[in-house]
Amino acid sequence: MNKTPIRGVLITARNKPLSTARNYVGQTIAVVERSALLAIVGAMTLADEGLMEGNDLFFRRDYLAFQRTI
């Protein structure tokens, strides 16, 4: 079994860096697919920090947002 850790990248505006999980409150996170494992793990990680999806932050399926950042 492969035990390589799953890693993700959060991209933010250069003039609005995020330093703690609390910086996500009220924010929308664009994801390619909400049911993707990385999005699920990200939501769980933020929940471990006390942030609840749909209350403190939101996920939005937005493939074009990813294309604009590349």
Distance CA 34, CA 53 (A): 12
Tell me the β-bridge partners of 58: 28
**Angle, vertex CA 29, rays to CA 17 and CA 42, nearest 5:** 95
Global pTM value: 0.67
Distance CA 59, CA 57 (A): 7
Distance CA 6, CA 67 (A): 22
Per-residue confidence (pLDDT) for residue 50, from 0 to 100: 92
| CB count in 10 Å sphere of residue 47 | 13
Per-residue confidence (pLDDT) for residue 51, from 0 to 100: 92
Summarize pLDDT for 10-63 with one digit per residue, the tens. Answer: 777 788 888 888 888 988 887 877 788 888 888 888 899 999 988 998 888 876
- Could you tell me the two tokens for 50? 């006390």
